[in-house]
Chains A and B, each alone.
Chain A
């Protein structure tokens, strides 16, 4: 019975009225041994990442790589154009006039790093993703306005519907709902 049910639900969700309650709930739930827990909030809540035990993200590394690619690629592209593809002898001046290539190198570094940061962030977040099970919860529209949500996901090895509902009640969540997975 439990197994049959389990394949149709994404998790159990509880609602909170302010960020402090949310953090408290997340800490309690994680202390109870749940690992597949996620929180939803209308603005970034300070301390929530730590409460959820999120590691340092990869965005800054991707951004660095993008910047390096833009800068190094940009410089050597100009070098190749000026010395090989289209050399222009202007009064015998050196073809590799590198100081003149710096402004474009700089701009391309910034461009590469910014593109990498934005598209890297979206890719890691798996966005765009038009539909997600959490949107099945009718009250979830408040997650983009004034309410805070915690979801214990069914993928958690410890997941048990009644048990999860109980722990959410313990941390005083309102409107505890099952999240259906379709």
Chain B
């Protein structure tokens, strides 16, 4: 760093690119955030948005109902393509969840103050994305009511799960991830639930928030243990989030299928997960700050930082694509070489080129400061990246399965109406849950914002 330039985290720099607008006090951040839940009337826009999302979720319910009646034959899957949409969507959704944990745990450990106003809804997003993700392998079993077979329990049949199978690793990784994310989110919520309890006027609200707050009273002795527990959870969630997508990549890379059996998969899956997750955080944050007037809390600094994380992880993903190519050619393995050719010239080549466009080429615009500070561009970019990451999983699953070792085992895959109805339906479920969340819980951590106010007021002294 050149002499005379202030260090990146100096008060001067912080004033220039604030993580919170000027002039806030403990009382005013509390009022502003809790008012969204407690006193602001529910807008017509909220009802309309919720109704649309809920209807789309209804379509998912119908699709799953029909699936349970008819079986997985209503989907486009058939041997040799047994995985199809269910696994593509599973990996896509779980990847989206990863940014929430990254923001709340890794950025917390790295003492990145800017995470404060985005961690709460990013964690909520993680939970809802995991809920959407978890549904796919469940319904993909064909008989979801038998899914408990995957858990080890002493059954009268005397059988046990096969712990050598990546699919069982998946069960443990995803259920641990869901549980830890839920605890992390809830522990963070406890002080804010106490705030809502103390500020709500109606009796039923007081009782509900009161029960959820567990009797939190802000005692110094409680905060003391609370901070230890929170720090420990952050430390535990960090290796967990890296392990979850690694384990998911094992579902592919432990198999010997061409295009799957490579060691680049775990890091490249994790980077891809964070990439798509940050894109989804932007997709939610940009409308949220606009609708609820939270521009002082979710500032341009936040959007800019998230765009930079997207750019960095996007480049790691690009490196992953390159290494896949390079290793296939360098190994000389004719099946791997053939698979690369199939990606470039096969029947699914348009998907591959669209993936390169969405994930590698378009995001290069983020190098420009102007683009990172244009909210509309960022919003469109976040959707482009989400589409790109979905295409990536489609390419991985479908091209490899349709071009196996012998031509007699080749096939084609096309999704049916019910595939699309289920997939789009889960987006409805996700958005429904987000709508409910911003209406009944504080979307920004009030307690942590007060801490931020305390620290920024010290800087000014």
Contacts and interface: CB of A to CB of B under 8 A. Distances in A.
Interface string B177-219: 0011001100100010011011100000000001100111111
A59 B447 contact: no
Contact of A41 (B25, B152, B220, B227): B220
19 contacts: A39-B220, A43-B450, A43-B454, A44-B224, A67-B236, A81-B163, A103-B172, A103-B173, A104-B163, A104-B172, A107-B243, A110-B239, A114-B184, A120-B229, A121-B226, A128-B214, A129-B214, A144-B191, A145-B27
Interface in A116-175: 117-118, 120-122, 124-125, 127-132, 134-135, 140-146
B233 A134 contact: no
Nearest to B154: A85
B240 interface: yes
Interface string B238-252: 011001000100100
A57 B25 CA distance: 31
Contact of B223 (A44, A97, A106, A120): A44
Interface of B: 25-27, 30, 152, 158-164, 166, 168-169, 172-173, 176, 179-180, 183-184, 187, 191, 194-195, 197-199, 210-211, 214-229, 232-233, 236-237, 239-240, 243, 247, 250, 447-448, 450-451, 454
Given A63-B229, A145-B195, 9 more contacts: A41-B223, A44-B451, A81-B152, A85-B160, A100-B163, A104-B168, A117-B232, A125-B225, A129-B215
Given A77-B152, A144-B191, A117 B220 contact: no
Interface string A11-40: 000000001000000000000000000111
Contacts of A41: 218, 220, 223
Nearest to A108: B172
A78 B163 contact: yes
B163 A40 contact: no
Contact of A43 (B27, B191, B222): B191
A41 B109 CA distance: 23
Contacts of B25: 146
A135 B219 CA distance: 12
A120 B454 CA distance: 29
A143 B217 contact: yes
B183 A107 contact: no
A60 B180 CA distance: 16
Contacts of B215: 127-132
Given A103-B243, A104-B163, A124 B225 contact: yes
A82 interface: yes
What's the dominant secondary structure at chain B's contact region? Answer: helix
A115 interface: yes
A112 B42 CA distance: 41
A63 B220 CA distance: 21
Contacts of A146: 25-27, 30, 450
B30 A107 contact: no
A127 B454 contact: no
Interface residues of A, number: 61
B217 to A, nearest CB: 6
A127 B222 contact: yes
Contacts of A39: 219-220
Contacts of B199: 141, 144-145
A83 to B, nearest CB: 11
A54 B250 CA distance: 46
A161 B217 CA distance: 23
Contacts of A103: 166, 169, 172-173, 243, 247, 250
A142 B30 CA distance: 10
B159 A106 contact: no
Nearest to B215: A129
B183 A143 contact: no
Contacts of A52: 220-221
A78 to B, nearest CB: 4
Contacts of B163: 78, 81-82, 100-101, 104
Contacts of B161: 81
Contacts of B210: 130
A81 B223 CA distance: 42
Given A86-B160, A118-B187, A146-B30, A19 B454 contact: yes
Contacts of A42: 26, 30, 191, 195, 218, 447, 450
B218 A144 contact: yes
A106 B194 contact: no
B232 A81 contact: no
Contacts of A7: none
